[in-house]
């Protein structure tokens, strides 16, 4: 995989496809491969840059305080290092939180913004859930096992567990096959989730924005929809009716179709 020097770290990334640049920002504890089901389609229309954020995958994991704003600064520096003047930006969950900061702080770098299962400011419910993941990660001593046992039930509906148990197991196997995030790095990254507050930044976002939620998501539920839609001026909201927090896996075809339509609409 190619790597590039970004600020105080060396950042790992994957590049596929051709067309206008599209940057995919991973969610908590994930590396660039988390968007495999999307890149397979997106790369037919865009040149896809899938990143390993600071603290994940094969990117460096320095000590210190992480924040969603810092992740956005890293992405902006990544773009500068590769000579990418402007790109479409997409992210799910932590990736969406990072995308908010990127589009608000560096508006000239973002051509379109896709915020999937995002939230403007962490509330007490999210703090409680993410703190429980930290406890599980420390107890198990394994971030992949914590993801499979602790995070998955928040990402998928009970109906998906019942209807496709083998699929759930295959996703867990995929998580276990990727470079394991150290527990310490997970604590740093999840602390960034707990501290996330981009509420005052949303009005600075100028790019056309697609905001999506899963109807059955409890983590980043539609409780955030009105706040985001009313503050981000050029935005639309899409609800995936049968999904929870991770429509990118729960309904791949519908997710890809609706998100790709938005991306192509705002491509040259």
Residue pLDDT, tens place only, 69-119:
999 999 999 999 999 999 999 999 999 999 999 999 999 999 999 999 999
User: CA triplet 115, 117, 123: central angle to 5 degrees?
Assistant: 110
pLDDT at 268 over 90: no
User: What is 3-121+197-265's CATH topology?
Assistant: Rossmann fold (3.40.50)
Q: What percent of the chain has pLDDT over 70?
A: 100
Tell me, what's the pLDDT at 1?
A: 85
pLDDT at residue 40, rounded to an integer = 97
Burial of 242 (C-beta count, 10 Å sphere; 0-12/13-18/19+) = middle
State the chain's mean pLDDT as an integer: 98
Note the pLDDT tens digit of each residue in 239-255: 999 999 999 999 999 99
Q: How far apart are CA 192 and CA 17, in angstroms?
A: 31
pTM score, whole prediction = 0.98
pLDDT tens readout for residues 179-235: 999 999 999 999 999 999 999 999 999 999 999 999 999 999 999 999 999 999 999
Strand partners, 49: 15, 23
What pLDDT is attached to residue 176?
Answer: 98
Tokens of 86: 């402007």
């Amino acid at each position: 995989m190619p790597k590039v020097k970004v600020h105080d770290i060396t950042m790992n990334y994957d590049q596929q496809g051709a067309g206008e640049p599209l940057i995919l920002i991973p969610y908590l504890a994930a590396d660039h491969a988390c968007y495999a089901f999307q890149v397979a389609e997106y790369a037919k229309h865009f040149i896809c840059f899938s990143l390993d954020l600071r603290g994940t995958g094969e990117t460096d994991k320095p000590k210190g305080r992480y924040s969603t704003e810092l992740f956005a600064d890293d992405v902006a520096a990544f773009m500068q290092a590769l000579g990418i003047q402007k790109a479409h930006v997409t992210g799910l969950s932590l990736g969406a939180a990072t995308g908010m900061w990127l589009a608000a702080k560096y508006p000239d770098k973002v051509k379109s913004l896709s915020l999937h299962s995002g939230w403007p400011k962490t509330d007490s419910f999210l703090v409680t859930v993410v703190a429980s993941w930290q406890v599980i990660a420390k107890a198990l001593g394994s971030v992949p096992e914590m993801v499979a046992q602790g995070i998955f039930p928040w990402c998928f509906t009970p109906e998906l567990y019942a209807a496709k148990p083998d699929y759930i197991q295959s996703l867990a196997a995929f998580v276990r096959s990727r470079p394991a995030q150290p527990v310490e790095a997970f604590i740093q990254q999840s602390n960034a989730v707990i501290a996330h507050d981009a509420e005052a930044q949303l009005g600075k976002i100028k790019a056309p924005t697609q905001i999506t939620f899963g109807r059955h998501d409890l983590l980043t539920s539609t409780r955030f929809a009105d706040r985001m839609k009313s503050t981000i001026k050029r935005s639309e909201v899409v609800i995936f009716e049968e999904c929870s927090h991770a429509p990118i896996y729960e309904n791949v075809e519908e997710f890809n179709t609706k998100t790709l339509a938005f991306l192509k609409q705002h491509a040259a």
